[in-house]
């Protein structure tokens, strides 16, 4: 009765073995997948006329669509400016945008398509660190530089020497808030409520805890929740008993709003602090009055009076309506860093562009002055904002 | 000790809400032998109806008895009607088909509701825009019952707090459960329900209007779910389209633990699950909470698949 | 035995040849791999949902188990090689090892999940598999060694589309031979009437569990393959939505039809890609129209399930197979 099944299994086993012996010797195509491409971008400069094409991968649909669309708008604006000013090397710059639906496998697919089909010189993207991590190895293998506007996880640029970013990294944000809390707000002891489901929150918590202690403060306790939870009372009750002066909640706005409300309900009146994950209009709807007076670290503030920033904001408003958020500013900066590098580079091959991007120093971005360090991360100041009357208000700039 | 007591109270409060949802599962399973996968999502719809009613009613009625009753009644009625619709158009045509078809239909409805509600859809009528579908983001639920501490004992550092909404949900849930028990065992409708549950063909032969009984059960279950959903939204202060799927699943687990098809069993299972989750959150980490419910389910199925109160039944042919 | 293995060996040769011919076309290779993984998932899920009539909706969970097991193994052995063999050969040997390990661990999980739930009526399986998917997610998110919420990156990208499609061939071969075997007949019997099957002496639980374990094995292999051509594996790729996509594939294709599952998997994987470019073009390059279409996709899947069940509960293909049609046509041609 089972003989056929058994023989099917045996066939499978034999086949697998056969595959091992046979597939392997003839299967150089797999590494060959990658290798022939390595050379391709370089011998291509035959096409020295026509538009310069760069690629962008972003989440235009899916759960993080709002992020992706802001970034795309910023990039579009930067290219418009550059082309109006005569383009790069007398050629216009064009961007091809692919949507990755906020999925890593789609990000990888889009990057492959950009590099192999569209032959882009450079790739911009992504916002979410996990998607950037999907793109980075592909860019690295093909020796095409990649600039991420706003992936703050440190591991992104560790994927290779072709991967850059124009934003600060998570540890820096933790440091900024620790410094501000200790030195400006003069807090002696704080508590932390972290989201264990997000690498971002865990990373910020680690650095904040260490730095705050180094600066002479005391972290009384760390409680945790998981993204998507809706009842934070157990954790908040525990925190209330510690009587901290400040509560650091490095999470995302949709959880933070509810946390703030439940904290106030429980009579926990400590000042709350957070990171750029709070940056959304939704925060004010969810948190209401409970969120007032909190402090957050962020990439830039639209209130920055410098003419460059105000100019950017007015152009953005004119084209897309609405005040640009941090992601739009970072997208704008990423595209400008790329354009500058292309202008300086002797040719548009991957290695030449890479070298020039790495040399970026004191570049005046709208979200702070950018200098690339040896880890290809931007070294730049962060701003601290306070929630006042249902809006973020600029209070300070913290330098690295 | 105080910590333990506090967790005990919180766990029981959460458990009563699961119990209301679990009752809906258990009743529908009882009469139809169908796991109504969409039950949790019907609950979610009820919560959004409550949200809309509270919103239209205006802030000045929050906290008043009439206002709260209005929100609960409208939402429960709307859900009962919605449950009736689903039963009539999605389940009834498939009643004589293999059971798998109704299960797939239920999964389809659940999926369509929880993801449909994540769309943003607004229509413009006469200058004002009306939101038809709420979108994926979570929203703050209106404070129709203003949370405050009902009772507190112990010193400032070590105290046990009982919230007004905990008391209210406990009372409402207890009242509904007693009412349900009476309905099932003391009324004509209840007797008809039990007959249909026993064998719906025989029940039909005896002149019991099977269709009407099944529809009634669906309406009852959906109304209970709406009530549970509102209590949940008041407790957690927020609503979002996927809430139904998770609460629904956990309530199902509770129903299975208690023995599916058994009314008191569902209540006991739900309380056990609520306590279990609260202790996991309190003493380890909240990130393990979702795993606990399903781990619990697999254990129960391994050890006592008919549940704590269920009876082993031979399948009828 | 040799006759049984012959098609597989032939397929292996064919896949190697294809890979050698088209391997340089990286984007095609990537897309083909994605399609292939979905086909493996759909055909394997069809064994339990279609042929046996049980309903699992947590296939992505088993895929995740395979992806993480295979990924971790390959990560650990990334620098190792079997000395005597050239690097490519040893890499591919390690890959096959990782794939089989991924499949085996997933199969073990299938046994643990299936044994308690398959003793009961089919609908318990739905809930338990769904719960299992959640448990896997929670475990991965809480385990730093697996990359936590960010995901596992740095897995050597060894799987070409040739390897993926070789496994596609294996899973189809398995499904076809299973369906025609006495074992398969028992599965059909369980699907049609469990009580009657049991009365006829079919040990229903044991058959169901075996079908489920087999199905989980291939889901694990699909996951492991996925980990070897997508640069990052993270819990977000294996959600309930992924499981539902596969369910929709087999329900639309026909519960019980391997060719139906195959066709629907290919079609439904490529469809969103095509729709997106179509609607982006229609929207004049502005992705907002495409975005709306994309968002509607999930609820439409739900409605589609309901509509198919109401109008054609056996799925579009029913239990018909393409090879049956070919056989019938040849018979007719001969006569």
Q: What is the dihedral of CA A342, A345, A349, A352, to 10 degrees?
A: -120
Instruction: Tell me the mean pLDDT in the region A183-211.
Output: 89
In chain C, alpha helices (H): 2-22, 26-46, 59-76, 87-118, 122-141, 161-180, 182-192, 194-199, 204-227, 240-253, 258-282, 287-311, 322-334
Of A196, A233, A237, the CB nearest to B285: A196
- Residues of chain B with Cβ-Cβ distance to A261 below 8 Å are 140, 237
Instruction: Tell me the mean pLDDT in the region A206-214.
Output: 91
Contact between C50 and C250 (Cβ < 8 Å): yes
Contact between A201 and A172 (Cβ < 8 Å): no
Are the Cβ atoms of A258 and B138 closer than 8 angstroms?
yes
Residue A149 has pLDDT above 70, yes or no: yes
ipTM: 0.84
State the nearest Cα–Cα gap between A335 and chain B, in angstroms: 30
Average pLDDT of chain A, as a whole number: 83
Which chains lie within 8 Å of chain A at 3 or more CB pairs, if any? B, C
Q: Which residue has the tokens 């697998």?
A: A16
Of B7, B140, B286, the CB nearest to A286: B140
Residue B239 in domain: yes
In tens digits, chain B (317 residues) has pLDDT values of: 677 888 888 888 889 989 989 988 888 888 888 888 899 999 999 999 999 999 888 888 887 888 889 999 999 999 999 999 999 999 999 888 877 888 889 989 998 998 888 887 777 776 676 777 777 777 888 888 877 777 777 766 667 778 888 888 888 888 888 888 898 889 999 999 989 988 888 999 999 999 999 999 999 999 999 999 999 898 888 888 888 888 888 888 898 888 887 888 888 999 999 998 888 887 777 777 777 888 888 888 778 877 888 766 655 55
CA dist., res. C83 & res. C81, Å (int): 6
Contact between B33 and B198 (Cβ < 8 Å): no
Residue B189 in domain: yes
Which chains lie within 8 Å of chain B at 3 or more CB pairs, if any? A, C
Q: Hey, where are the domains in chain C?
A: 2-237
Q: Which residue has the tokens 């056929």?
A: A4
Distance of CA C129 to the CA centre of its chain: 15
Contact between B236 and B277 (Cβ < 8 Å): no
β-partners of residue C194 are none
**pLDDT at B155 (0 to 100):** 67
Q: Among A373, A370, A369, A338, which residue's Cα sits nearest to residue A356?
A: A338
Domain containing B210 — which CATH number? 1.10.3470
Q: Express each pLDDT in A1-31 by its tens digit.
A: 444 444 444 444 444 444 343 333 333 333 3
Q: Among C187, C181, C220, which residue's Cα sits nearest to residue C203?
A: C187
- Residues of chain A with Cβ-Cβ distance to B236 below 8 Å are 230-231, 258
Residue A49 has pLDDT above 80, yes or no: no
In chain B, alpha helices (H): 2-32, 39-57, 65-86, 99-116, 164-186, 188-198, 200-205, 210-236, 243-258, 263-283, 289-303
Q: Is A247 helix (H, G, I), strand (E, B) or coil?
A: strand
Q: Express each pLDDT in A300-311 by its tens digit.
A: 888 888 888 999
- Residues of chain B with Cβ-Cβ distance to A287 below 8 Å are 140
State the nearest Cα–Cα gap between C198 and chain B, in angstroms: 12
- Residues of chain B with Cβ-Cβ distance to A237 below 8 Å are 6, 161
Least confident of A196-200, A209-213, B153-157, B293-297: B153-157
**pLDDT at C46 (0 to 100):** 93
Residues 4-43 of C with CB under 8 A from B: none
CA dist., res. A260 & res. A294, Å (int): 10
**pLDDT at B210 (0 to 100):** 92
Q: What is the 3-state secondary structure (H, E, C) of A35-103?
A: HHHHHCCCCHHHCCCCCEEEEEEECCCCCCHHHHHHHHHHHHHHHHHHHHCCCECCECEEEEEEECCCC
Lookup: tokens for A336: 């400008």
**pLDDT at C284 (0 to 100):** 65
Instruction: Say yes or no: A228 contacts chain C, CB-CB below 8 A.
Output: no
Residue A215 has pLDDT above 70, yes or no: yes
Residue B97 in domain: yes
Size of interface A-B (CB pairs under 8 A): 60
- Residues of chain B with Cβ-Cβ distance to C115 below 8 Å are 302
Percent of chain A with pLDDT strictly greater than 90: 33
Of A225, A241, A257, the CB nearest to B140: A257
Contact between B23 and B266 (Cβ < 8 Å): yes
CA dist., res. A395 & res. A295, Å (int): 9
- Residues of chain C with Cβ-Cβ distance to B298 below 8 Å are 112-113, 116-117, 128, 131-132
- Residues of chain C with Cβ-Cβ distance to A25 below 8 Å are 86, 88-89
How many structural domains is chain B composed of? Answer: 1
Give the chain A residue whose CA is nearest to the CA of C176: A8
Q: Among B165, B182, B292, which residue's Cα sits nearest to residue B236?
A: B165
Between A312 and C286, whose confidence is greater? A312
Low-confidence ranges of chain C (pLDDT < 70): 1-4, 121-122, 283-288, 290-291, 294
In C119-160, alpha helices (H): 122-141
CA dist., res. B295 & res. B279, Å (int): 15
Question: B286, B291, B293: which to substitute to probe chain A, counting the most A Cβ within 10 Å?
Answer: B286
Size of interface B-C (CB pairs under 8 A): 132
State the nearest Cα–Cα gap between B65 and chain C, in angstroms: 37
Contact between C280 and C286 (Cβ < 8 Å): yes
Residue B173 in domain: yes
Backbone angles phi, psi at A185, to 5 degrees: -85, -10
Least confident of A130-134, A168-172, B246-250, C276-280: C276-280
Q: Among C160, C200, C208, which residue's Cα sits nearest to residue C183?
A: C208
pLDDT band with cut points at 50, 70 and 90 for residue A43: very low
- A163 contacts: CB under 8 Å, gap ≥ 6: A136, A139, A140, A145, A146, A148, A156, A157, A376
């Amino acid at each position: 009765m089972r003989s056929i099944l058994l023989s099917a299994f045996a066939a499978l086993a034999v086949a697998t073995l056969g595959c091992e012996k046979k597939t392997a010797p003839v299967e150089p195509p797999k590494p060959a997948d990658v290798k022939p491409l390595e050379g391709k971008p370089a011998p291509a400069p035959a096409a020295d006329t026509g538009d310069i094409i760069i690629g962008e991968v972003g989440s235009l649909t899916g759960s993080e669509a709002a992020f992706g669309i802001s970034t795309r708008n910023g990039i579009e604006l930067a290219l418009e400016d550059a082309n109006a000013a005569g383009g790069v090397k007398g050629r216009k710059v064009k961007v091809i945008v692919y949507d990755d639906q906020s999925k890593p496998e789609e990000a990888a697919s889009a990057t492959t398509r950009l590099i192999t089909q569209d032959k882009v010189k450079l790739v911009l993207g992504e916002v979410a660190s996990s998607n950037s991590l999907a793109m980075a190895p592909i860019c690295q293998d093909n020796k095409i530089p990649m600039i991420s506007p706003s992936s703050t996880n440190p591991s992104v640029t560790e994927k290779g020497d072709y991967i850059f970013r124009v934003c600060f990294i998570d540890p820096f944000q933790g440091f900024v808030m620790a410094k501000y809390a200790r030195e400006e707000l003069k807090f002696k002891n704080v508590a932390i409520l972290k989201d264990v489901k997000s690498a971002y929150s865990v990373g910020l918590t680690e650095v904040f805890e260490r730095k705050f202690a180094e600066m002479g403060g005391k972290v009384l306790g760390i409680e945790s929740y998981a993204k998507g939870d809706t009842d934070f009372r157990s954790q908040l009750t525990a925190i209330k008993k510690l009587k901290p002066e400040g509560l650091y909640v490095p999470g995302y706005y949709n959880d933070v709003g509810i946390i703030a409300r439940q904290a106030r309900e429980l009579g926990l009146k400590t000042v709350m602090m957070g990171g750029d994950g709070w940056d959304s209009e939704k925060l004010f709807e969810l948190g209401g009055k409970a969120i007032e007076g909190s402090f957050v670290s962020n990439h830039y503030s639209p209130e920055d009076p410098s003419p460059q920033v105000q100019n950017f904001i007015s152009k953005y408003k004119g084209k897309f309506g609405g005040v640009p958020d941090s992601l739009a500013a970072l997208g704008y900066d990423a595209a400008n860093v790329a354009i500058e590098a292309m202008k300086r580079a002797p040719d548009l091959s991957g290695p030449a562009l890479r070298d020039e991007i790495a040399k970026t120093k004191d570049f005046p971005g709208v979200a702070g002055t950018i200098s690339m360090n040896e880890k290809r991360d931007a070294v730049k100041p962060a701003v601290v904002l306070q929630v006042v009357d249902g809006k973020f208000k600029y209070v300070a700039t913290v330098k690295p | 000790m105080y910590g333990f007591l506090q967790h005990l109270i919180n766990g029981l409060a959460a458990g009563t809400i699961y119990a209301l949802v679990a009752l809906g599962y258990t009743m529908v399973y009882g009469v139809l032998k169908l796991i109504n996968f969409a039950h949790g999502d019907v609950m979610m719809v009820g919560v959004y109806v409550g949200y809309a009613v509270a919103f239209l009613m205006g802030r000045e009625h929050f906290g008043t008895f009439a206002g709260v009753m209005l929100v609960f009644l409208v939402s429960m009625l709307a859900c009962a009607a919605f449950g009736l619709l689903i039963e009539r158009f999605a389940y009834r045509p498939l009643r004589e088909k293999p059971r798998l078809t109704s299960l797939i239909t239920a999964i389809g409805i659940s999926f369509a509701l929880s993801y449909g509600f994540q769309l943003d859809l607004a229509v413009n009528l006469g200058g004002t825009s009306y939101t038809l579908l709420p979108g994926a983001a979570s929203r703050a639920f209106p404070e129709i019952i203003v949370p405050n501490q009902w009772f507190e004992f112990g010193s400032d550092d070590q105290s046990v707090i009982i919230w007004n909404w905990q008391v209210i949900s406990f009372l409402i849930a207890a009242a509904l459960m007693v009412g349900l028990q009476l309905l099932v065992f003391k009324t004509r409708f209840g007797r008809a329900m039990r007959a249909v549950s026993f064998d719906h063909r025989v029940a039909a032969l005896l002149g019991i209007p099977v269709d009407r009984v099944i529809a009634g059960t669906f309406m009852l279950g959906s109304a209970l779910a709406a009530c549970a959903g509102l209590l949940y939204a008041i407790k957690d202060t927020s609503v979002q389209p996927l809430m139904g799927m998770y609460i629904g699943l956990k309530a199902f687990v509770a129903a299975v633990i208690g023995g599916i098809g058994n009314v008191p069993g569902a209540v006991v299972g739900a309380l056990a699950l609520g306590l279990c989750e609260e202790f996991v959150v309190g003493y380890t980490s909240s990130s393990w909470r979702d795993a606990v419910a399903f781990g619990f389910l697999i254990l129960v199925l391994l050890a006592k698949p008919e549940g704590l109160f269920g009876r082993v039944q031979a399948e009828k042919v | 035995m040799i006759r049984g293995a012959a098609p597989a060996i032939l397929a292996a040769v064919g896949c190697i040849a294809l890979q050698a011919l088209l391997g340089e076309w990286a984007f095609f290779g990537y897309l083909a791999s994605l399609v292939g993984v979905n086909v493996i998932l759909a055909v394997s899920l069809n064994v339990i949902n279609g042929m046996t009539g049980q309903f699992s909706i947590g296939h992505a969970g088993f895929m995740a188990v395979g992806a993480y097991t295979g990924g971790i193994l390959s990560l650990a052995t990334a620098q190792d090689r079997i000395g005597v063999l050239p690097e490519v050969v040893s890499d591919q040997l390690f890959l096959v090892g990782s794939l089989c390990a991924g499949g085996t661990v997933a199969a073990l999980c299938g046994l643990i999940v299936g044994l308690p739930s398959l003793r009961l009526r089919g609908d318990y399986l739905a809930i338990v598999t769904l719960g299992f998917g959640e448990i896997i997610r929670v475990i991965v998110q809480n385990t730093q060694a697996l990359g936590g919420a960010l995901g596992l990156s740095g897995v050597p990208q060894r799987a070409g589309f040739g390897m993926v499609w070789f496994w596609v061939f294996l899973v189809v071969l398995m499904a076809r031979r299973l369906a025609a075997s006495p074992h398969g007949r028992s599965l059909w019997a369980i699907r049609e009437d469990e009580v009657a099957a049991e009365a006829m002496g079919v040990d229903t639980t044991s058959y169901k569990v075996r079908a489920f374990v087999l199905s989980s094995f291939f889901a694990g292999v699909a996951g492991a393959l996925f980990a070897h051509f997508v640069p990052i594996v993270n819990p977000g790729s294996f959600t309930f939505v992924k499981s539902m996509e596969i369910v929709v594939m087999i329900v639309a294709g026909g519960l019980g039809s391997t060719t139906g599952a195959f066709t629907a998997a290919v079609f439904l994987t490529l469809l969103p890609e095509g729709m997106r470019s179509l609607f982006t073009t229609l929207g004049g390059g502005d992705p907002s129209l495409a975005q709306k279409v994309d968002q509607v996709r999930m609820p439409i899947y739900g409605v589609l399930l309901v509509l198919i069940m109401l109008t054609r509960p056996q799925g579009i293909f029913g239990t018909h197979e393409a090879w049956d049609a070919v056989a019938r046509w040849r018979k007719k041609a001969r006569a």
